[in-house]
Amino acid sequence: LWANENKLGNKSYEELCAEPLVRTTLQKELAVFGKESDLKGFEILKNIYVTHEQFSIENDLLTPTFKLKRHQAKEKYDTEIERMYKEIA
């Protein structure tokens, strides 16, 4: 529905995740939610990365008890993490 309203209805899930409008819209919505939840400024997300890939045991990003494997996630998304830090600097 949102994708159709924003002329993105013809895009695949993977293409939507890479779409800048999706990222900025999600980030704005998360910021509004954070403010409504009385989060402090430093607790509100300043940048996000949207990926089409779910975190799973199979792709080695989750443990068998579904906890995030932080080291593997940092290695996998290091380029995106560095880009996000540069964007907010």
Q: Would you give per-residue pLDDT tens digits along the chain (89 residues)?
A: 899 999 999 999 999 999 999 999 999 999 999 999 999 999 999 999 999 999 999 999 999 999 999 999 999 999 999 999 999 99
Q: What is the pLDDT of residue 47?
A: 96
Q: What is the pLDDT of residue 77?
A: 98
- Rounded to whole angstroms, how far apart are CA atoms 3 and 21? 10
Q: How many CB atoms lie within 10 A of CB 15?
A: 13
- Rounded to whole angstroms, how far apart are CA atoms 89 and 79? 16
Q: What is the pLDDT of residue 31?
A: 96
Q: What is the pLDDT of residue 26?
A: 97
Domain ranges of the chain: 1-48, 53-89
**Token representation of residue 7:** 């002329």
Q: What is the pLDDT of residue 57?
A: 98
